[in-house]
A = this chain, B = another copy of it.
């Protein structure tokens, strides 16, 4: 009996298509010889599509994407400063729209320093944490406005909206994530001493949920202090949970610590399964190096690994990660093309147990 997985692929702009090509090759190689069939539908969305047709995310395509089992997402964004994109906001209209509409409330971003990966910040093998970033509310809701734009009396607001409903589900997800890991530690991050309203709601929810998880050691850090801890002692972290904006900032920093943003994977998870989850490298579209086979596809490949986890294909996910680990240990500092990294990782995939 074969299982068919319906995969929506959004390669996007810049280096997106190149890295997604390699991620797809690795997925195929890792499922080969098993009982899985991958059925792909590609959606051409992003800045390039917008410039061609004026579309950001047509309703009919969003509905089509929703009918898939998972989404593999490259990167979106045109050349910075392109005036034709000024009015577009592809980020809000496409990427964030998918995260919000598909209830991707657990934005999961692991930070693992593999042996062989150079980092100025920590010894390989000592860093292994995961940031669970809230993905559907907070300062990202887009609420707010501009009054008297372009005049000296201009005022702009941004309203961060935080609900017990939204916080509880992601905090619970983070506790469950910590339960499944050996160290059983959760650090929640906010800025409760300044953002007193949202901070109090977060604190109340964390305190209520932690009562159900007496095995988990919980600590709290202000976001500013968390950056120092992440730089000076990243090995202390196991699971972190934080709001949408703090999570955005901390996971780029974590990427730098995990040997560079070329390795940082993420999953936009809808744990309830009401909509497909979406997997994407943390990096952007990097238009300056697009089409040159210079981008490291490892972040996209590791994101595909998170997708395999999510789909319950644990053995396949583990073999994918084993291949990436082996490749990193073997590769050293040599310069490789995007496809060469894909080739090398495929060559390292261990046989099925």
A128 at interface by CB-CB < 8 Å:
no
- Report A198-235 CB contacts with B as 1/0, cut-off 8 Å: 10110010000000000000001001110110011000
In the complex, whether A336 has a CB less than 8 A from a CB of chain B is no
Report if A53 contacts B (CB, 8 A).
Answer: no
Residue of A77, A163, A257 with most partner-chain B CB within 10 A: A163
Binary CB contact string for chain A from 221 to 262 against chain B (1 if under 8 A, 0 otherwise): 001110110011000000000000100110111011100110
A311 at interface, CB cutoff 8 A: no
Cβ proximity bits A154-188 to B, threshold 8 Å, 1 near / 0 not: 11111111111100100000000000000000000
Give residues in A with beta carbon < 8 Å to B: 77, 80, 89, 91-92, 96, 120-121, 139-140, 142, 144-146, 149-165, 168, 191, 193-198, 200-201, 204, 220, 223-225, 227-228, 231-232, 245, 248-249, 251-253, 255-257, 260-261, 284
- A165 near B193 with CB under 8 A, answer no
CA separation between A317 and B232, bound complex, in Å? 30
A144 and B160 contacting across the interface, CB-CB below 8 Å: yes
Which residue on chain B has the smallest CB distance to residue A81? B220
A150 to B140, CA, bound (A): 23
A282 smallest CB distance to B (angstroms): 9
Closest to A205 in B: B154
**Given the complex of chains A and B, what is the CA–CA distance between A146 and B162 in angstroms?**
9
CB neighbours of A198 from chain B (8 A): 144, 156-158
Query: Do residues A139 and B164 form an inter-chain contact, with CB atoms below 8 A?
Result: no
**Contact A89 B193, CB 8 Å, known A159-B159, A223-B249:** yes
Of B92, B158, B164, B256, which contacts A153 at CB under 8 A? B164
CA distance A194 to B97 in the complex (A): 11
Contacts of A154 on B, CB cut-off 8 Å? 163-164, 201, 204
* Cβ contact within 8 Å between B121 and A231: yes
The residue in chain B whose Cβ has the minimal distance to the Cβ of A284 is B225
Most chain-B CB neighbours within 10 Å: which of A144, A161, A231?
A: A231
Q: How far is the CB of A140 from chain B (nearest CB, A)?
A: 6
CA distance A155 to B249 in the complex (A): 24
Contact for A162 among B156, B160, B162, B255, CB less than 8 A: B156
Would you call A158 and B195 a contact (CB within 8 A)?
yes
Q: Which residues of B contact A200 (CB under 8 A)?
A: 146, 149, 156
Q: Which residue of B lies closest to A249 (CB)?
A: B224
How far, in whole Å, are A142 and B191 apart by their CA atoms in the complex? 12
Residues of B within 8 A of A162 (CB): 155-158
- Taking a contact as CB atoms under 8 Å apart, the answer to whether A224 and B248 are in contact is yes
| A231 x B256 contact (CB < 8 A) | yes
* Nearest-CB residue, chain B, relative to A140: B194
